[in-house]
Homo-oligomer: A and B are copies of this chain.
Amino acid sequence: MRLIALAGLPEIGPGDDLGALLAERLHGVEPSLARFDVLVIAQKVVSKAENRFLDLASVTPSARARDLAAATGKDPRLLEAILAESAEVLRAKRGVIVVRHRLGYVMAQAGVDRSNVGGVERVLLLPESPDESAARLRATLARLTGVAPGVVISDSFGRPWRLGTTNVALGAAGVPALWNRRGERDRNSRPLESTEVAWADAVAAAAGLVMGEADEGLPCVLVRGLRWSAPDVPALDLVRPIGEDLFR
């Protein structure tokens, strides 16, 4: 397995055709794009291309947002933007707010990032539907290169119980984001113990090592040498249904 960070992507802005820009960068790759290649793209550049910016000056915080702002020590307008993206607030304390995003992801800040470019106080929201964003990018790449690669849109998540962030898959297309291996056996013919593998999360974590943290510098990583025999599964299937969760 090889991971290659794609260099030379310009700063992405609203309306940019991210798929076309990626296809251009992929022209220089040898050997050329092939089946089982997977492209991992940082959520931020997808959100920017999809103009998921929100001007904080346009936001009027509700009473609830002001309460949570006091509890967390954050900007009330930022809290209002977070609440608008959330189905439920799970934890809030000084410096931290963990929510269930409207799409189900349990994550800090509902994925809302401050982005004070050029003196304007803006935030950047997650894509409307990361799985659909991944599918659109895949379709564009298929049209422009003749090959439909796997596409994973990644974001950096904290975890309970363990320190530090790792990248996970927010969106996916053309890959088994969750790989159900129930019924498979190991080489000693014993049933596999881990029957569901968070495959796209592992791909996102691997790519994160190459993106580094300055993900606006190298937000796209080509992963080669993977093989899979499972059907395509979107990344939203990685979200554990509420009723099956022992830790909320």
Contact partner of A1 (CB less than 8 A), chosen from B2, B160, B165, is B2
Q: Which residue of B lies closest to A201 (CB)?
A: B166
Contact B159 A178, beta carbon cutoff 8 Å = no
| A:176-209 near B, CB below 8 Å | 178-179, 181, 184, 186-188, 192-194, 196-199, 201-203, 205-206, 208-209
Contact partner of A239 (CB less than 8 A), chosen from B162, B178, B186, B238, is B162
Known: A2-B2, A165-B194, A203-B209. 15 other contacts (CB 8 A): A160-B240, A160-B247, A162-B201, A162-B240, A163-B240, A164-B179, A164-B198, A165-B198, A166-B201, A184-B213, A194-B213, A197-B208, A199-B209, A209-B226, A247-B248
| A 23-60 to B, binary, CB cutoff 8 A, 1 in contact else 0 | 00000000000000000000000000000000000000
Q: How far is the CA of A167 from the CA of B166 in the complex (A)?
A: 12
Interface centre among A164, A179, A239 (most CB of B within 10 A): A164
Chain B min CB distance to A81 (Å): 16
Question: Chain B interface: which of A66-74, A91-99, A126-134?
Answer: A91-99
Quick one: given A166-B201, A246-B160, are A209 and B206 in contact (CB under 8 Å)? yes
Contact A163 B205, beta carbon cutoff 8 Å = no
Contact partner of A247 (CB less than 8 A), chosen from B161, B168, B184, B202, is B161
Number of interface residues of A (CB under 8 A): 60
A13 at the interface (CB under 8 A from B): no
A210 at the interface (CB under 8 A from B): yes
**Chain B residues with Cβ under 8 A from A214's Cβ?**
186-187, 192
| A:135-166 near B, CB below 8 Å | 156, 159-166
**Chain B residues with Cβ under 8 A from A168's Cβ?**
162
Chain B min CB distance to A232 (Å): 15
Chain B min CB distance to A101 (Å): 11
Q: How far is the CA of A247 from the CA of B158 in the complex (A)?
A: 12
Q: How far is the CA of A178 from the CA of B181 in the complex (A)?
A: 31
